[in-house]
Amino acid sequence: MSTLDHQDTGPGNTGPGNTVPDNPYDLLGDDHDDGHRWAFGTGFTDPLAGIDTSVPAGVDAAALARYCLALGDDALIYSHRLQQWVTRMPELEEETAIANIALDLLGQARMLLARAGGILGRTEDELAFFRDEKDFRNVALAEYADQDFAELVARLLIFASWRLALFEELAGRGSSAGAADPVLAAIAAKAVNELAYHRDYAAQWVVRLGDGTDRSHRRMQDGLEAVWPLTGELWRPDADALAELSPGAVDAVLDTVLAAAGLDRPAAAPLAAVGGRAGRDGVHTEAMGYILAELQSVARAHPDATW
């Protein structure tokens, strides 16, 4: 059996003098218990390993799990939608941007699902791959299928502005003391810096297209109009919420961007809830079934597969 010195075969390190096994497939059958693995990224562990995940006194554990699930599902489903854009972007720079934003959101989803799962007694993978549509709590904005680049950046601007403002509150960087759960507060604090990059990326494109040619302006306005009805759901009252966020904070950001872009704030009425129920209640748009089919089919076909 060839020896693989982990230090010498890290990705990107292909300089001379490396120990390269004769046949990389030999490593597949190797003993994985000694810290070696046959490929980069094949191991997944609890993203909250070693973190004190006890629920503080005074915090309703069931409500905390529901809330983390909601915020985690927003990120998981949104990330999946962005991943579907990869290889379809107009330029390589946008390709890497969208892939990076999707990766950040996936990381946030993993930590939030792990936080919920720790309380519910389920792993993050079980929550992502073995829940049915009615048990997903994401808002409809996360599951919407962008029809073009204008819709993509319009939706990302709204989502990232909302999530950034909410996470600033959860992290205690807004007008409140932050989430009563320190794990959620720490996840939010970490995400804030990432979301600021996402929001500004989307804002800059909205301004560039809105303030561009007649055609780009018209299509950017159309993109905004298309996704705007989905914003109403963001402000539905949530009894589980661990931070208060007023629409004014997000509106101020959006209005600033729209003014710079020369775009009109859409007047479209919000998408109606179904019998008073929406995404947080497990009631989704038609798009959701297709997303879950793609997201979950491999895991469900091979439920006991290990890497």
Q: Tell me which residue of 82, 139, 75 sits closest to 270, measured CA to CA.
A: 139
- Residue 51 binds to another protein (criterion: CB under 8 A): yes
Interface with another protein, residue 119, by CB under 8 A: no
Among 69, 77, 105, 116, binds another protein (CB under 8 A): 105
Residue 73 one-letter amino acid = D
DSSP for residue 130:
S
d(CA 267, CA 248): 16
By CB under 8 A, the residues from 161 to 190 that bind another protein are 164-165, 168, 173-174, 182-183, 185-187, 189-190
Q: And the tokens for 78?
A: 């949104």
- Residue 121 CA, chain-centre distance (Å), reads 22
Coil, helix or strand at residue 274:
strand
Q: Of 60-68, 103-111, 140-148, 275-283, which segment contacts another protein by CB under 8 A? A: 103-111
Q: Which of 269, 276, 294 is nearest to 81 (CA)?
A: 294
The count of other CB atoms within 10 Å of the CB of residue 217 is 17
Q: How far is the CB of 61 from another protein (least distance, A)?
A: 19
Stretch that binds another protein, among 102-110, 221-229, 278-286, 295-303 (CB under 8 A): 102-110
> In this chain, which of 84, 100, 216, 296 binds another protein, going by CB under 8 A?
100
Nearest distance in Å: CB 126, another protein: 19
Distance (Å) of CA 289 to CA 130, 138, 283, 286: 13, 13, 11, 6
Residues that bind another protein (CB under 8 A): 6-7, 10-13, 34-37, 40-41, 43-45, 47-51, 93, 96-97, 99-101, 103-108, 110-111, 164-165, 168, 173-174, 182-183, 185-187, 189-194, 196-197, 199-201, 203-204, 207-208, 249, 253, 256-257, 260
